[in-house]
Structure 1
Amino acid sequence: MTSREPEALVPAAVDTLPINFAILDDEGMILHTNRAWQEFGKANEIELRPDTVGTNYLEVTAQAETETARTVADGLAEILDGERELFEHEYPCHSPDEQRWFLMRAAPFTDDGRRYVAVAHFDITERYEYQRRLEQSNEQLEQFAYAVSHDLREPLRMVTSYLQLLEQQYGDELDEDADEFIEFAVDGAERMEKMIEGILTYSRIDTQDNGLGSVDLEAVIDDVLQDLDVRIEETDAEITTESLPTVQGDASQLRQLFQNLLSNAIEYSGEGVPRVTISATREDDEWMVSVSDEGIGIDASDTDRVFEVFQRLHSHEEHEGTGIGLALCKRIVDKHGGDIWLESEPGEGTTISFTLPAVSEGAN
């Protein structure tokens, strides 16, 4: 018994795949469809899936006056013209009985010098539904965190006010231990209020939609330095800013981002004068911005943990803070579609870098 050559097995294997698959020639004509494509086309009246070999996919798609059809037609045309090597598009495909979502992928290949396009449609309904439920759950958690944090602020302020009033009214009658107890209680209440404020800010990042626009980072830094003027004077901090770009973003959130990063750099400067450098380099359609200091640094094993909420590497006696600052920075960068990371050596300083989208051509 002789085994079949691998090339001979390919059509049979493709035919059994639970993925709608087709091959087009360099003009968009359908040359081959697998069984899943054919069965789906027969069972559903779907304009984007002509299942007849010999039909021009582009022509049939162009006849459908929908946004999805136009997007697919344009993407495939660019592939056939050699302007791109991969096209992806997610789209709904609903019937009267059920709602489904698909991911279309198209990529070119050559055979004997001729260009062809492989087209596949993946059913992503389960993933789409899971993602939607996750987004709804996150939104509910954010709303819950906001509501709880907001409601806690007033009674906490009342506790602080009454403790201070007690100290003012009866300070002469209290002994040294009582004064110390009140001081501890007030300090704890004030720290808790800062944490609640941090939670409120953290929960607002995704719910507040100020819209993305062109943001001049040099102007943002000027505002942040003005806000931190007292702190900079108290510590004699030296902030060096290289040429910074204009990016696509939310100006208020980017201001919060830089304020947190500069505050951290000053706080963890060690015994020496804080020295911080802000720089930026272009990488394709993104800008990589870095904030570097010469401070105490952190161990490599903690570089990921510092971006988690309430993760502190030092006690309150050593350094002030709520453990939310860098988590907030990560959330802001995530919302802008970027990445953030940290490089550091104990005693050698820290560099926190993140990416932001460059301003697209023609943007205001």
Structure 2
Amino acid sequence: MSLPKLPSPDMLLATWNVLLDALPAAVALLDGGGRPVVINAEWKRMVVGDHPWPLTERYPSLAEKSGLWNAATAAQVEAGLADVLAGRRDMFQEEVEVAVDIFGSRWQRVQILPVDRGSFDGAVAMHIDITQQHRLSDDLLEQKVNLEDINRELQRFVYVASHDLQEPLRTVASFVQLLARRYKGRLDPDADEIIDFAVNGAKRMSALIQDLLSYSRLTGAHYHVAEVDLGHVVLDVLRGLDTLVAETKSNIVVHPLPTVLADPIRLASLLQNLISNAIKYRHPDRRAQIEIFAVNDGDMLTITVADNGIGIDPAYHDKVFEMFERLFPHDGRDGTGIGLTIAQRIVESYGGRIWVESTEGHGSTFLFSLPAGMISAWSRPTPVLPSGDSP
């Protein structure tokens, strides 16, 4: 039985070159002196260009002479090559700036890895063109800076416009309210209705301007950090809503809440928006029951404000957090559609998120999460606060 004929060294080398040329990276086999002994087509195109063969110099200086990179980069790669060949490191990898084209700087990722010393004393060097990634990254960074500039200008515009609108609106509102006091009932019913529309319109516009100012301040300002007892914040919010709670006979239960490191004014605004909404959107056929509690799962602290109100269709769970969005704009309830947008911005400024779980007609549960690392302590039980009459 005859043995199969072994391929000749020339055939093996030709096969090896075909495989190397098929690679999308520039690849070279370097000897122990750092000189290229085998290269593929991409290496010739990207690294050495038209430099004559054989390549008798160490590859970093060779690439410098071919115009690929400058002396500083050559020295950086030379140091990495020396370390790899001497066994002081397992790999050298660096993203380097190379020759400039008509579009600007080009970039390559350079990798040098040792070859098994049992078979060959040397290393493999690879170059990968990453110019597009760098240019895309630079473009995205420039766009980000531009968007930040535009955002700051928009914030300033909203603040200035809202602030400057307040004074003329106060004047209009004062004169309309004066008309209502002096002439209501003394003119015909149509005039009384027109005056009522004007007074209510001025009030809504004033509330909208105040909310816009709050949002613009929230977007652009740095916040103060202190130890904030959430139980005390909730009680302060409920004292401010005492008249509304009493008029609606709402029953509010506050469970033990933690002390957190945060801005007390922001947290008060957040909780006031959620609690006042729970009262405002109560069900007409039942007394409002609102429960506030917290759960810490080790990673996130979740605060819940649950009610038994009119509920929200799941199709609108995300929509309620959009600016100026009111699901029931003509139901007679006061509001500007900015409150939940402000709440969302506050929560996200702490790295948390806010969401709602609800079905129409069966109440709503608003939850917001904060990093558990914000917890300073856990308060003693907060008293139940049924500001309305007992059931």
TM range (shorter): 0.5 to 0.7
Of 196, 200, 203, the residue aligned with 2:209 is 196
Name the Cα RMSD after superposition.
3.7
Contact kept, 8 Å, 1:248 with 1:356, in 2: the verdict is no
Name the CA shift for 1:358/1:185 in 2 (closer, same or farther; >3 Å): same
1:319 maps to what in 2? 333
1:305-356 deviations in whole A, cap 9, x for unaligned?
Answer: 1101111111344422111111111111121221111111011111111111
CA shift, 1:358, in A, is: 2.8
1:119-147 deviations in whole A, cap 9, x for unaligned?
Answer: x9974322222222111211111110111
2:250 maps to what in 1? 237
1:141 maps to what in 2? 154
CA shift, 1:215, in A, is: 2.5
Aligned pair 1:333/2:338, yes or no?
Answer: no
2:111 maps to what in 1? none
Name the CA shift for 1:170/1:279 in 2 (closer, same or farther; >3 Å): closer
Q: Distance in 1 between matches of 2:71 and 2:305?
A: 55
Q: Give the match's secondary structure for 1:309.
A: coil
Specify which structure has the bigger relative contact order, considering alpha-carbon pairs within 8 angstroms and separated by 6 or more residues: 2
Matched AA of 1:289: I
Matched AA of 2:178: L
Aligned pair 1:280/2:294, yes or no?
Answer: yes
2:323 maps to what in 1? 309
CA shift, 1:43, in A, is: 5.0
Contact kept, 8 Å, 1:310 with 1:324, in 2: the verdict is yes
Aligned pair 1:129/2:142, yes or no?
Answer: yes
Matched AA of 1:281: V
Contact kept, 8 Å, 2:218 with 2:346, in 1: the verdict is yes
Of 147, 157, 166, the residue aligned with 1:153 is 166
Contact kept, 8 Å, 2:260 with 2:376, in 1: the verdict is no
Which structure 2 segments of 5+ residues have no match? 1-14, 28-42, 48-59, 85-96, 98-104, 108-127, 378-391
Name the CA shift for 1:162/1:205 in 2 (closer, same or farther; >3 Å): same
1:295 maps to what in 2? 309
Matches within 5 A, 1:1-364: 12-13=23-24, 42-43=69-70, 52-53=80-81, 55=83, 123=134, 124-171=137-184, 173-271=186-284, 272-359=286-373
Q: Distance in 2 between matches of 1:44 and 1:333?
A: 51
Larger radius of gyration: 2
Q: Give the match's secondary structure for 1:52.
A: helix
Q: Give the match's secondary structure for 1:322.
A: coil
Q: Distance in 2 between matches of 1:45 and 1:284?
A: 50
Give the TM-score normalised by the residue count of structure 2.
0.63
Q: Distance in 2 between matches of 1:15 and 1:292?
A: 62
CA shift, 1:269, in A, is: 1.2
Which structure 1 segments of 5+ residues have no match? 17-33, 57-92, 94-99, 103-119
Matched AA of 2:279: I
Q: Distance in 2 between matches of 1:305 and 1:259?
A: 20
Matched AA of 1:245: P
Q: Give the match's secondary structure for 2:368.
A: strand
CA shift, 1:182, in A, is: 0.4
Q: Give the match's secondary structure for 1:351.
A: strand
CA shift, 1:241, in A, is: 1.9
1:105 maps to what in 2? none
Q: Which moved more, 1:257-266 or 1:123-132?
A: 123-132
1:48-80 deviations in whole A, cap 9, x for unaligned?
Answer: x76714649xxxxxxxxxxxxxxxxxxxxxxxx
Name the CA shift for 1:14/1:268 in 2 (closer, same or farther; >3 Å): farther
Name the CA shift for 1:224/1:362 in 2 (closer, same or farther; >3 Å): closer
Q: Which moved more, 1:139-148 or 1:164-173?
A: 164-173
1:96-155 deviations in whole A, cap 9, x for unaligned?
Answer: xxxx9x9xxxxxxxxxxxxxxxxx997432222222211121111111011111111111
Identity %: 39
